Amino acid sequence: MIKYILMLAFLFVSNTALHAEEADHAIHQELRAVLQGMEQAINERRYSDLEPYFVENLRVTTINQEVISKRSEITAYFEKWFGEDGYLKTLEITLTPDATTELYGDKTYGIVRGTGDEKYVLADGRYFDMTTRWTATVMKDNDGQWRILSLHIGTNFLDNPILAKAESALMTFAAGGALLGLILGWLISFLFMRRKKASA
């Protein structure tokens, strides 16, 4: 009798664990679809399509440390930077999570972090490859869909290709300025000496 009860208990626990594992797998598939949908929307420049992936009152800190607090601000942000008069022409992004989302509570919210490989083309044709780190809090919204509640994107300012280009340009300008200063100094000295000889 005890053996029979133990066997039933084992089957019950196994069934419960299997069901929980299947439920978690389904959640992670939904969250993976959110990530892939965002990638495609950005890469295909369908910026307004990003809005349904976020809750209405979101909290986003972008790579340039701007803050977005409403869905409607997402499209405006991208159009500002990638629009007709924007500084940037295109962005191609690949988002790779470090691991599956860490689910909490009753599995209606979670935290995930990962890496972003970002390829920028500037309005003047120059391009930059940049690696970012991101952390997102996701939640199951009122309609049962998984959406992003908060997102923070950062980059290593010590290993920043745009900063490196800017520093390189400053060094070029500094070297050019020094050379121009030498030429002007020589020219002024030459004219002064010539005038002095003419006076004598």
Q: Looking at the structure, do residues 115 and 145 belong to the same domain, yes or no?
A: yes
Contacts (Cβ under 8 Å, ≥6 apart) of 150: 58, 59, 60, 136, 137
pLDDT per position as a tens digit, 119-139: 998 888 888 888 999 999 999
Looking at the structure, tell me whether residues 123 and 78 fall in a common domain.
yes
Considering the domain architecture, whether residues 69 and 126 belong to the same structural domain is answered as yes
pLDDT (mean) for 33-44: 96
Rounded alpha-carbon distances, angstroms, from residue 115 to 35, 72, 99, 141: 12, 25, 11, 25
Q: Residues 162-174: what's their mean pLDDT?
A: 52
- Check residue 64 and give its pLDDT: 87
Q: Specify the range with the lowest mean pLDDT, choosing from 82-86, 95-99, 126-130.
A: 82-86
* Residue ranges making up the domain that contains 137: 2-155
pLDDT at residue 161, rounded to an integer: 55
| 119 in the same domain as 93 | yes
Cut 0.85: pTM above it: no
Share of the chain above pLDDT 90, in %: 50
Report the CATH number at residue 37.
Answer: 3.10.450.50
Q: Say whether both 122 and 182 belong to one domain.
A: no
In this structure, are 169 and 143 located in the same domain?
Answer: no
Higher pLDDT, 22 or 136: 136
